[in-house]
C-alpha cells in the first residue's frame, strides 16, 4: 500500500506542471490519511460484525464482547494513526520511539493486571467450551475424595462466578469464585436428581 501511494505520487509529480506540485504535496498526503482512516473504520466495522456473530453462536455475555471489541478497535485505530502520521512526514524514528514507549507501558500494565485479565479470559473460555452454564450444579474438588466448594451457578461475570450454596439471595449463603479457579482444579457437574440434592433447585432461586 505504501509503495502504491509513492508510485502514484511520483507519477503525478511528473505529469503536472511545476506550479501544481506545491498543492500536490498537500493534497496527496491528505487523501492518503483519509483513506487510511476510512480503511481502519471499515476494518473495525467488520470486526464488530464478526464479534456479534461469535457472541450469538457461543452465547457469550455482552460485557465480554464489548471489552474484546474495544481492545480490537484501540489496536486498529492506533495503527492507523501511526501510519497516518508517517504519511504526513513525521520521522520514523520518532514514531518508533513513541511506539516502544507505549508498548513498554502496556506491557507493565498487562503484568500488573494479569490476575484480572486471566479471569476475563477464563470467563470467555467458560462460555466457548460450555464448561457449565447458569443453573448448573458444580463442585470444585480440592484433592482426592475431599469435599470441595459446591453450589448452583447463579451468575457468571467477567471476574467471578457466583455459586449459591443454600437458600436464596435474601436468606442463604453463596460463594464468589474467580473464573481462573475453574481451570486450576477438577470440576464436577451434578445432573438430574443428584443435582437437586446438592443445592437449592433453580426454580427456588430469587435473583
**Using one digit for the tens of pLDDT, what is the confidence trace for 12-69?**
566 656 655 566 667 777 888 888 899 999 999 999 999 888 888 877 777 777 878 8
Quote the pLDDT of residue 194. Answer: 61
Is pLDDT at 203 greater than 60 in this prediction? no
- Predicted pLDDT of residue 169: 62
pLDDT in tens, 75-95: 888 888 888 887 777 776 766
- Statement: residue 206 has pLDDT above 70: no
Q: What is the pLDDT of residue 124?
A: 84
SS (H, E, C) the chain: CHHHHHHHHHHHHHHCCHHHHHHHHHHHHHHHHHHHHHHHHHHHHHHHHHHHHHHHHHCCCHHHHHHHHHHHHHHHHHHHHHHHHHHCCCCHHHHHHHHHHHHHHHHHHHHHCHHHHHHHHHHHHHHHHCCCCCCCEEEEECCCCCCCEEEEEEEECCCEEEEEEEECCCCEEEEEEEHHHHHCCEEEEECHHHHHHHCCCHHHCCC
pLDDT of residue 135: 86
Tens digits of residue pLDDT in 97-125: 777 777 777 777 666 667 777 888 888 88
Q: pLDDT tens across 127-172, in order?
A: 888 888 888 899 888 765 667 788 899 988 888 899 988 766 667 7
Amino acid at each position: 500500500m505504501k509503495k502504491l501511494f509513492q508510485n502514484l505520487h511520483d507519477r503525478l509529480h511528473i505529469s503536472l506542471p511545476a506550479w501544481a506540485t506545491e498543492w500536490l504535496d498537500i493534497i496527496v498526503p491528505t487523501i492518503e490519511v483519509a483513506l487510511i482512516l476510512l480503511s481502519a473504520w471499515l476494518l473495525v466495522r467488520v470486526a464488530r460484525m464478526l464479534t456479534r456473530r461469535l457472541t450469538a453462536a457461543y452465547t457469550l455475555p455482552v460485557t465480554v464482547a464489548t471489552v474484546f471489541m474495544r481492545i480490537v478497535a484501540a489496536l486498529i485505530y492506533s495503527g492507523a494513526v501511526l501510519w497516518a502520521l508517517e504519511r504526513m512526514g513525521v520521522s520514523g524514528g520518532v514514531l518508533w520511539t513513541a511506539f516502544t514507549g507505549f508498548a513498554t507501558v502496556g506491557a507493565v500494565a498487562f503484568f500488573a493486571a494479569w490476575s484480572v485479565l486471566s479471569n476475563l479470559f477464563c470467563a470467555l473460555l467458560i462460555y466457548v467450551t460450555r464448561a457449565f452454564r447458569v443453573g448448573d450444579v458444580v463442585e470444585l474438588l480440592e484433592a482426592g475424595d475431599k469435599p470441595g466448594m459446591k453450589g448452583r451457578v447463579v451468575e457468571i461475570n467477567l471476574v467471578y462466578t457466583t455459586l449459591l450454596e443454600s437458600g436464596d439471595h435474601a436468606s442463604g449463603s453463596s460463594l464468589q469464585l474467580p473464573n481462573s479457579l475453574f481451570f486450576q482444579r477438577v470440576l464436577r457437574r451434578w445432573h438430574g436428581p443428584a443435582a437437586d440434592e446438592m443445592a437449592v433447585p433453580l426454580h427456588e432461586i430469587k435473583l
